[in-house]
Amino acid sequence: MPKNRDTFSSLAAWRRRVLARAVQRGWRWVQETGSVTAEHPGPLRFRRLGPGTRLAFPQGTVFGEAWIEIGDHCIIAEQVTLTAGMLPGLDLGPDPILTLGDGVVLGRGSHVIADTRVTIGSDTYCGPYVYITSTNHSYDDPHEPVGRQWPRAEPVEIGPGCWLGTGAVVLPGARLGRNVVVAAGAVVRGDVPDHSVVAGAPARVVRSWDPELGWQPPLRTPAPVPIPEGVTSEQLVALADLEPETP
């Protein structure tokens, strides 16, 4: 009897491994087939969708594509919301409402809500669950539920080369300069100068770049060592696989 039980357990484990591999292969096929690219846009008809750009499957809420421009080689992760206008089916005029430059990365679960003009500069990277919106609720009337009061909208501009950490929120009217770092969980409003680091809610500048003095206050970590010229990607991969020597 113990031998039969062992045989049954081995067979069940084998079946589970086979089924797991089949499910994983099937899911990878679904992800690949369901992703959106310029060559395979599916039902989405963006104003522009650059070459090399991919919207991962499953996509979040997407509407107003005719007023959304996405540049080249962007990475839009799973469950990212991209909307232009307050509701689907609205005529928003001749100009784009939401523009993503080349090389923009939007992390998983992020939302970009553009009821009026929102621009994200090239090579801006956003971590997971970043929320960028041009619209905010108003609460002028103390007797009316906030959700029923007409919202206010202001343009949002994020300069090129920025980094927005996980859970960062960019509010209507915000204007971020070039190469700005937004700490995780920060809530940004107003103007943020070039080459600065902001943190907190509301966000404030905690570090900035001075052409003569460098970063102020000074960075607490050593500067990264640049990769030597002539090193290939294959050599870097091989280097990463090397195990450190034990003393």
Q: State the catalytic residues.
A: 137
Write the DSSP assignment of 6-67 as a string of letters.
HHHHHHHHHHHHHHHHHHHHHHHHHHHHH-B-SS--TT---SEE-TT-EEPSSP--EE-GGG
User: HSE-up of 193 (CA within 13 Å, CB side)?
Assistant: 9
Residue found by looking up tokens 């003569």 in the block: 212
Cα angle: 161, vertex 163, 166; to 5 degrees: 160
Q: What is the CA radius of gyration of the chain?
A: 24
Phi–psi pair at 37, nearest 5 degrees: -135, 175
Side chain identity, residue 190: G
Which residue matches tokens 């343009």?
155
